[in-house]
Chain A
Amino acid sequence: MTAINAGGPPPVTSVPAVPGAPGAPGGPSGPGWGGPGWGGPGWPPPPLDMGVPRFLGRDGEFFGLLLRGALLLMVTLGLYRFWLTNDIRRYLWGHVEVNGDGLEYTGTARELLIGFLMAIVLLLPIYLLFYVAALMPDLIPYIGAVSFIVLALLGQFAVFRARRYRLTRTVYRGVRFFQTGSAVRYSLLSNFWSLVIVLTVGLAYPFAAASLERYKMRHTHYGDLGGQFVGSGWGLFARGILLWILAVAPLAAAVVFTVISVDWLPVLQTLLSLDIAKISALDENDALALAVGFVLMAAGWGAFAGLIFYPMFRAIVLRWWVSGLRMGGVSAHSYFRNGQAYGIYFRFLGYAMLFGIAASVVGLLLAGLHSVSVRDLKLSSEAGEISGIVLGLIGYVAMMLGYSTIFHTIVTFRFWRLSFEMTQLWGLSALDGVVARGEASSALGEGLADALDVGGL
């Protein structure tokens, strides 16, 4: 995994911070957003039991942290990632305040490094086995599928264990969060749902998300308080189905149409004959040409619509997710607005464009400077080309890290902030007198997630 990992999912895995939501007694129909309903003479003073978490981080500081981290990632070819990840988490966790007390992240970079080394030791024999098997003629047909399945299972195993590590390093009022449950079962469940999502062209996503979140939250604890997830698959389905119809349904329909309308037997025979002349003659198959045209159009539209609606999708999922979280008697409700998600992404696009222009200007200047200095210093053509390649490589890496830094400063940071600040919590008195339980877990899961590239924040 990468500390800077553009385009990641919402910080779903860092659940602990935001417990609670409506639905339960005193859901959204009860007290509103700091609204009326409170203040009658008979009411107990509200601030004790309800409140909005605060996030006190400043994006300038966060940007500085990431920028310095990006430079160090470059000079250490990525080895600095353990320290950067740890700094980012300390910053994000440490600036959250719930009911007047701050969260604390107690993990260390050293733990991440050791977890990674342990994961390498664990993975090395597995990779070696795949490598050797890939060289055996009899095994070649199976090796792809087998390694895909093994790595998918291991990856989700790592995701669950990494969440456990992060939770046990999250401390609030001197009491830690922790996670029980079996990573093996989670991995099987998660991979089962991935398969169902693919088979249903995404329609099963809400049910998958609800099921996995229920498993995670059921096994999440803060001291002697138990977590719970009450969001329902149908609830998310109802909120998101319109987006699915707009973005995904045309593609699904086009695929179905293709399967039905084309007479596949002769087409397959032609393809299997491997005869170039016959295959190019497939052009004249009108039904096939029409179907392929439909699929291409639908895919193009799907990509366009996906881009347009992605912020709304994230907002919907974030609201649904936060509002389903419970921790003991604490419930939450998110008032995150679609417009806020669009604001964040537009801001990112704007800054990314500015950065792109600036980077191109700098790149052109450097390229010019390079060719001039190659000529003036009378470098051999070999030295010139090598230094050109190295410069280009550094430029490319700097560019990518720049985009990633901008992305995290704007998108990750603001989503994190708003996922707290747009959340109303009820039943906060349940957080008093919680008895400490649970122990710190090892960072093996984090290391595996890193090595398998499935990590999040």
Chain B
Amino acid sequence: MIRSGPAIYFDGKTSTRHPVTVELDNSALAVKSADGRLLARWPYGELEQTSANAGVFRIGRTGSDALERIEVRDPGLAHAIDLMSVPVDRTGLQQRRGRRKVVLWSMAAVVSLLALGIYGIPELATRAAPLVPYGVEKRLGQAVDLQVRAMLDPGKKGDAFVCGTAESEKAGQAALVRMVAKLETAAELPIPLQLKVVRHKQANAIALPGGYIYVFEGLIDRAEGPDEVAGVIAHEIGHVANRDGLRSLLQAGGLAFLFGMVLGDFVGGGAVIFASRAILRMAYSRHVEGQADTYAVGLIQQVGGDPRALSTILTRITGTKEPSVRVLTNHPATPERARSIENVTRPAIMRPIISAEEWAAFKRICGGTAATPAPKAEAGSPLEKAAGE
């Protein structure tokens, strides 16, 4: 076997090229200048191959701050050094092994980060939400409220956006106040509700952070009894009580961080980020809606209403069709919701939430809406919780 040969040595102190002879002894590699002086002696255990052009075998010394280098162009000598030194690995076998490990670890990290997205973030948001003072949530609600109103309010002249302000609507407004007061007392919320009926044709209602609730005119048009509206309002109160608006804001922030900065940062990754964020948010939302339904049932029972009215109005508005792609909806399927509402319900002594006269007035809270034909069922789900999203 070759024990010595020519090489180029860079001592790491200057850029001078030293043509040298490399000699391999039993424990180390000796670098000798043309006149036979020993320039360096590197134990085999400290050699490491560094990147170089094909045809050049370049080695450095592990752990050395200086960038000393030996370059060998003779393949025979390079092979001999490779045989003597354990760390040197010219076939790249160790590197490939190391890389396989990296890929496996990365995939494990992806799995655990996804789990964090699916289970960890909602859990964290749930834990963190109660720590946010109500004062902060209220101010936050104001901010979201401004945006949502700008979105919903078409800004047409004529009727005010909020119903119940005109003279003919006063009686309806009084009925609403009575109904809400009953529910609010039973609910014992830590923040006051800001509930308004607004002129919007969609059969829907939304809750924002900070106790803001909007019930749309379209929903009242389609309601056939006070318990139905009360059920929907109770569902929205459930969002307020569970601080769902705040939770979803916290979740959105966590997801944006996870799927924007840590994962998905590559060409085409934008689509992955978008899809996973959308699907995860929908999943959180479905879970939260189910909870709000349960809450609504309990609240309505407490005030002596008919909890099943909520499932009646849900079914009337959306029909019984199952959605085609379940992962892309933010509410559970209506039949599923209706079933679970009826499951929770136990018969109770029923008392009317508001009287028949009050209900008749309530139906006119948006001024003679009884004359306008009821709008067709909206494609979107009712009881949307548009918590500032």
Are A and B associated in one complex? yes
Instruction: Give the B-binding residues of A (Cβ under 8 A).
Output: 1-6, 56, 72-73, 75-81, 83, 90-91, 93-95, 97, 101-102, 104-106, 109, 120, 123-124, 127, 131, 135-137, 140, 171-176, 223, 274, 381-382, 385-386, 389, 393, 396-401, 403-404, 431-436, 439, 450-451, 453
Q: A104-B58, A397-B269, A436-B66 are in contact. Are A95 and B53 (CB under 8 A)?
A: yes
A–B complex contacts, Cβ < 8 Å, 11 sampled? A79-B106, A80-B106, A95-B53, A102-B58, A135-B140, A137-B142, A140-B143, A175-B14, A400-B268, A434-B14, A436-B66
Is A79 touching B263 in the complex (CB atoms < 8 A)?
yes
The 8 Å CB contact of B15, one of A1, A3, A78, A434, is A434
Q: A75-B103, A393-B275 are in contact. Are A174 and B12 (CB under 8 A)?
A: yes
**Minimum CB–CB distance for A112 against chain B, Å:** 12
The 8 Å CB contact of A174, one of B52, B67, B142, B249, is B67
Is A386 touching B327 in the complex (CB atoms < 8 A)?
yes
Is B15 touching A431 in the complex (CB atoms < 8 A)?
yes
Is B266 touching A81 in the complex (CB atoms < 8 A)?
yes
Is B266 touching A4 in the complex (CB atoms < 8 A)?
yes
CB-defined contacts of B265 to chain A, threshold 8 Å: 1-2, 78, 81, 450, 453
Is B272 touching A83 in the complex (CB atoms < 8 A)?
no
**Minimum CB–CB distance for A250 against chain B, Å:** 32
The docked-state distance in angstroms from the alpha carbon of A171 to that of B155 is 66
Which chain A residue shows the least CB distance to B110?
A77
The docked-state distance in angstroms from the alpha carbon of A1 to that of B266 is 8
Is B17 touching A432 in the complex (CB atoms < 8 A)?
yes
Which chain B residue shows the least CB distance to A100?
B17
CB-defined contacts of B106 to chain A, threshold 8 Å: 72, 76, 79-80
CB-defined contacts of B6 to chain A, threshold 8 Å: none
**Minimum CB–CB distance for A415 against chain B, Å:** 18
Is B266 touching A104 in the complex (CB atoms < 8 A)?
no
**Minimum CB–CB distance for A55 against chain B, Å:** 10
The 8 Å CB contact of B54, one of A56, A176, A274, A403, is A56
Is B103 touching A80 in the complex (CB atoms < 8 A)?
yes
- The number of residues on chain B lying at the interface, defined by a beta carbon within 8 Å of a beta carbon of chain A, is 55
Q: A79-B110, A396-B268 are in contact. Are A56 and B324 (CB under 8 A)?
A: no
CB-defined contacts of A73 to chain B, threshold 8 Å: 266
Not counting A95-B53, A173-B10, a sample of 19 additional A-B residue pairs whose C-beta atoms are within 8 angstroms of each other reads A1-B265, A4-B267, A5-B267, A75-B103, A76-B103, A78-B263, A94-B53, A104-B69, A109-B102, A136-B143, A172-B15, A173-B69, A381-B324, A400-B271, A401-B266, A433-B16, A434-B14, A435-B13, A453-B265
The 8 Å CB contact of B324, one of A3, A382, A401, is A382
Is A173 touching B17 in the complex (CB atoms < 8 A)?
yes
Is B53 touching A432 in the complex (CB atoms < 8 A)?
no
**Minimum CB–CB distance for A256 against chain B, Å:** 34
Is A2 touching B53 in the complex (CB atoms < 8 A)?
no
Query: Chain B, 217-241, contact with A by CB distance < 8 Å: what is the 0/1 string?
Result: 0000000000000000000000000
**Minimum CB–CB distance for B313 against chain A, Å:** 26
The 8 Å CB contact of B17, one of A4, A81, A101, A274, is A101
Q: Does B11 contact A (CB under 8 A)?
A: yes
The docked-state distance in angstroms from the alpha carbon of A386 to that of B268 is 20
The docked-state distance in angstroms from the alpha carbon of A127 to that of B260 is 12
The docked-state distance in angstroms from the alpha carbon of A436 to that of B17 is 13
Is B267 touching A104 in the complex (CB atoms < 8 A)?
no
Is B266 touching A78 in the complex (CB atoms < 8 A)?
yes
For A72, A106, A135, A393, the residue with the greatest tally of chain B CB atoms inside 10 Å of its CB is A135
The docked-state distance in angstroms from the alpha carbon of A404 to that of B272 is 16
CB-defined contacts of B324 to chain A, threshold 8 Å: 381-382, 385
CB-defined contacts of B144 to chain A, threshold 8 Å: 135
The docked-state distance in angstroms from the alpha carbon of A104 to that of B110 is 32
**Minimum CB–CB distance for B329 against chain A, Å:** 11
Is B267 touching A400 in the complex (CB atoms < 8 A)?
yes
Which chain A residue shows the least CB distance to B11?
A174
Which chain B residue shows the least CB distance to A175?
B15
Q: Does B139 contact A (CB under 8 A)?
A: yes
**Minimum CB–CB distance for B112 against chain A, Å:** 11
Is B272 touching A56 in the complex (CB atoms < 8 A)?
no
The docked-state distance in angstroms from the alpha carbon of A436 to that of B58 is 19
Q: Does B107 contact A (CB under 8 A)?
A: yes
Q: Does B369 contact A (CB under 8 A)?
A: no
Is A137 touching B15 in the complex (CB atoms < 8 A)?
no
Q: Does B343 contact A (CB under 8 A)?
A: no
CB-defined contacts of A403 to chain B, threshold 8 Å: 267
Q: Does B262 contact A (CB under 8 A)?
A: yes
**Minimum CB–CB distance for B93 against chain A, Å:** 17
CB-defined contacts of A97 to chain B, threshold 8 Å: 53
For window 101-150 of B, CB contacts with A under 8 Å fall at: 102-103, 106-107, 109-110, 139-140, 142-144, 146
Which chain A residue shows the least CB distance to B388?
A135
Query: Chain B, 247-282, contact with A by CB distance < 8 Å: what is the 0/1 string?
Result: 001000100010001111111110110010000000
**Minimum CB–CB distance for B383 against chain A, Å:** 22
Is B56 touching A436 in the complex (CB atoms < 8 A)?
no
3 closest A-B pairs by CB: A400-B268, A174-B10, A76-B106
**Minimum CB–CB distance for A447 against chain B, Å:** 11
Q: A72-B103, A101-B17, A432-B16 are in contact. Are A120 and B261 (CB under 8 A)?
A: yes
For window 55-74 of B, CB contacts with A under 8 Å fall at: 56, 58, 65-69, 71
Which chain A residue shows the least CB distance to B327?
A386
CB-defined contacts of A173 to chain B, threshold 8 Å: 10, 15-17, 69
**Minimum CB–CB distance for B131 against chain A, Å:** 13
Q: A94-B53, A135-B249, A174-B68 are in contact. Are A397 and B14 (CB under 8 A)?
A: no
**Minimum CB–CB distance for A116 against chain B, Å:** 9
